[in-house]
Amino acid sequence: MIYKKRISITVFSGLIVEILNKIAPLIIIHIAQKRLGIEKFGYALFGISVIELVLPVISFGYNQYGVIAAGKDPSAIPKLMSSIFVLKLGHCIGLLACLYLFFGYVPAYQSYFSLIMPLSLLLAVSVVDVLWVQSASQKVAVSNVFIGICRLVTLILILIFIKNSQDAILFAILSLVGNALVNLSTCFYSVYKFGLAPPDWIGIRTIFQKSLPYSVVILLTIVSERIDIFFAEHFGGLAGAGYYAGSSRLGHSLTQIANTIIAAFFSEMVIIQDKQSLSSHMRWSLWILLFFLSPFIFGVWFVAGDVLSFIFDEKFRAIESVLGWIFLSASLSVLTASFGQQVLFLTGQIRTYAKALALGVLISSTLAYLVGGTSLYAIAIAMCIGKFFTTFIVFMAARKSLVEFPIAILFKTLGPGFLMGLVLFVLQLPSFFANVGLGAVVFFFFGFMMNRREFLGLYTQVLSFVQNKDQQ
């Protein structure tokens, strides 16, 4: 059964929170780059990327398993929470030991030891990450509120305490404190709301085994998203890492906003049973997602230099083409996650999803290693090529599980963005505001003309929600 009102509230609350919170990260990276300098900025972001890369070792796949298991049986949430806590704690202890040995004894990375060790302690808080409970109980809007508050707290702390290049490690720590606060606050809320039962010691092994396929997908996803920074650091040093990571953070911000849409629909799709409903959800999810991404995919190329120089400084204008490829790469990742989580996860095609991700990582890594010495631009293109293959394979696999594959949606939503980009390319406008203003007019004109039926359907649903507070 589809609860359209709940989806709308979740999507719009999530988008409002994410859009507001994107202001905070932009301010953070602007101030951090100015106060730390490009090398220390790259040093801090490299450490943050390491933590983000190894985080799936703790989360493992338990969050994805928890959503699906609790979606089928909400009464199991208290016992699931405590059992998953125990499993994550074991992973955390093992991971901390490995990080200590690697950064303490591998010569090439010993210079990062004083950075990674304090950051790794924040990993312990991820043991109590229970955002999956909000997804399983269709309370994603609640977690959006916690996320918004905690990210604003992070901004305030960074504004107060980050002063100069000596604060690089502190900046990295404070950057991760927001996620730690989200984990703690949502954990307290979930325990208060649902209670906590003793762990299912007999069933823990079963939880581990059933979570294993999800863990492979999550680990490969993170590797796919973060491995480029390692190539940037390897070939370009800390300065290269700083330039690339700054642009990459903007791409990740785009991904986080788009993931709000995916999370809202996924929390509803875990409780549906029929193929027709799955297809209907997927169609609306893809339409909203691509309509949001389309102007960024085709428009960023014309304003990248202005955006980078405004957020960072004029030196970043030299890598403006990198931002366009990073945004394209982020969009491919979002599409992969959309079909992967909303279709392949729910139809048991987890191995197919994992194989697609593995192929993409292999292609991206190989190409990046071969061409990474030439430029940061080449690394960004290599990432896009690998992700394209992943997205194509996931598309084809998802197609078999839907009543009607929404191929028309691709043209309806990407078409306006393409036409906008074509107009801007022909006119070659000189200023940022001219490109943004004209681009917006062209995009929304063609967007409305090509999607009149969808807009009418959306308007009808919103009107129905206002008139019937509990309309399904």
DSSP 24-36: HHHHHHHHHHHHH
Residue 248's closest CA among 391, 380, 389? 380
CA distance 135 to 470: 20
What digits encode the pLDDT tens for the residues 104-150?
A: 998 888 889 999 998 988 888 889 888 778 776 656 566 667 777 77
- Residue that wins the pLDDT comparison between 316 and 86: 86
Instruction: Please tell me the distance from the alpha carbon of residue 288 to that of residue 338, in angstroms, as a whole number.
Output: 11
Most confident of 57-61, 180-184, 355-359: 355-359
For range 23-40, the mean pLDDT: 78
For residue 468, pLDDT over 60 is answered with: no
pLDDT (0 to 100) of residue 24: 65
Report the sign of the C-alpha dihedral through residues 209, 215, 217, 219, in that order: negative
User: What is the CB-side half-sphere exposure of residue 326 using CA atoms within 13 A?
Assistant: 28
Model confidence at 384, pLDDT cuts 50, 70, 90, reads very high
- The letter for the amino acid at 183 is N
The predicted-structure confidence for 218-247, as pLDDT tens digits, reads as follows: 888 888 888 898 899 888 888 888 888 878
Helix (H) or strand (E) holding 179: helix 168-194
Q: How confident is the model at residue 469 (pLDDT cuts 50, 70, 90)?
A: very low
Cβ(103)–Cβ(117) below 8 Å? yes
User: What is the rounded CA–CA span in Å between residue 443 and residue 289?
Assistant: 15
pLDDT score for 1: 43
Ranges 128-137, 268-277, 457-466: which has the least confidence: 457-466
